[in-house]
């Protein structure tokens, strides 16, 4: 039996503490031993899982499975409607690696856990000609239609010869309240939130080889 | 040597890239609707290529630091 599960009047200590539970003069763990101060501190502020199902109590470490847990964590887990995910800090990653591409390209689907917005970093290192353009889409995935085509949120046209030049890292910021004024060079700002599922779609307008990468920074 | 396998779910295509030399896997998920102007086959081939590129990128990022002259 795990000694760190704390029961008060037959109820597990819930996420957030004891404020809604009648506090008796003594409290006991499931093994029958009395709760001490260290147990309370760990229960209220430490990071271990409390579950109505037996056998789940454990401290979380960096190597543990992060998401889709069947039980909540104190603190730092968010309920996604089905399971619990880790609460994230600002995070970053790669959508499309640096490579030569000649056709429309879609990034893998991304899951936004708790960020409000995102900054895309579009680094174009080679363009086929000055007439061709790339259109960068941040697509919100519609949970009903399960498609991004109905949820286009931001577009950027960039090409050699256009306002945003090839050879410079372009940034697209999608964040509630983001303002395009005053203008920032090589930034496109759009005021909108980032949904849970999203991806990036690059539309090649014209023929020829482009070389580019797309990275992202999720912003709380 | 990287090998790519794919499965289809109700919501997405899931591509798994296996690094045969280290027996590690990298998994990526794509939406089910091909972009305008692409057939499903072309779309899946594009997804496969991007999955391989991403896996190779992740593998390269894990490489041990190399000493440099300063």
d(CA A15, CA A138): 35
Q: Which residue has the higher pLDDT, A147 or A106?
A: A106
Q: How confident is the model over A64-104, as pLDDT tens digits?
A: 556 766 665 556 778 888 888 888 899 999 999 999 999 89
Band of the pLDDT at B22, cuts 50, 70, 90?
A: confident
The closest CB to that of B35, out of A96, A104, A108, belongs to: A104
A218 CB burial (10 A radius; 0-12, 13-18, 19+): buried
Residue-wise burial string across B25-53, b where 16 or more C-beta atoms lie within 10 A, e elsewhere: ebebbbbebbbeebeeeebbebbbebbbb
CA distances from A186 to A97, A159, A215 (A): 20, 12, 15
Does the distance separating the beta carbons of A94 and B57 come in below 8 Å? yes
Peptide bond into A197 cis (omega under 30): no
Nearest to B36 by CA among A101, A150, A109: A150
Residue identified by tokens 């070389």 is: A211
Q: Is A123 on the interface with B (CB under 8 A)?
A: no
Does the distance separating the beta carbons of A141 and B53 come in below 8 Å? no
Q: Which residue has the higher pLDDT, A146 or A4?
A: A146
Per-residue pLDDT at A43? 59
Give B27 to chain A, closest Cα distance, Å. 10
Q: What is the mean pLDDT of residues B4-20?
A: 93
Q: How confident is the model over A9-27, as pLDDT tens digits?
A: 555 655 555 544 455 567 7
d(CA A104, CA B36): 9
Does the distance separating the beta carbons of B32 and A103 come in below 8 Å? no
pLDDT averaged over chain A?
72
Per-residue pLDDT at A41? 52
The closest CB to that of B54, out of A94, A146, A199, belongs to: A94
């Amino acid at each position: 039996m795990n000694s760190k599960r704390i029961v008060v009047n037959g109820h597990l200590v819930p996420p957030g503490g004891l404020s809604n539970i009648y506090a008796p003069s003594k409290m006991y763990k499931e093994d029958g031993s009395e709760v001490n101060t260290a147990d309370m501190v760990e229960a209220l502020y430490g990071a271990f899982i409390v579950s109505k199902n037996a056998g789940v109590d454990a401290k979380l470490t960096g190597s543990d499975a992060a998401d889709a847990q069947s039980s909540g964590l104190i603190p730092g887990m968010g309920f996604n409607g089905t399971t619990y995910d880790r609460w994230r800090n600002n995070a970053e990653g790669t959508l499309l690696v640096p490579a030569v591409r000649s056709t429309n390209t879609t990034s893998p689907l991304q899951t936004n856990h708790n960020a409000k917005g995102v900054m895309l970093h579009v680094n174009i290192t080679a363009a086929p000609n000055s007439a061709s353009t790339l259109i960068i889409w941040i697509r919100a995935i519609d949970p009903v239609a399960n498609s991004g085509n109905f949820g286009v949120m931001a577009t950027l046209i960039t090409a050699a010869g256009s306002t945003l030049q090839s050879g410079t890292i372009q940034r697209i910021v999608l964040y509630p309240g983001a303002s395009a004024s005053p203008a920032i060079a090589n930034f496109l700002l759009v005021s909108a939130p980032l949904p849970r599922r999203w991806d990036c779609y690059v539309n090649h307008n014209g023929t020829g080889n482009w070389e580019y990468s797309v990275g992202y920074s999720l912003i709380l | 040597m990287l090998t790519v396998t794919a499965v289809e779910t109700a919501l997405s295509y899931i591509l798994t890239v296996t690094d045969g030399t280290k027996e590690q896997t990298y998994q990526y998920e794509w939406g089910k609707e091909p972009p305008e102007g692409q057939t499903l086959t072309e779309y899946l081939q594009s997804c496969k290529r991007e999955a391989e590129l991403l896996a190779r990128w992740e593998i390269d990022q894990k490489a041990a630091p190399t000493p440099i002259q300063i």
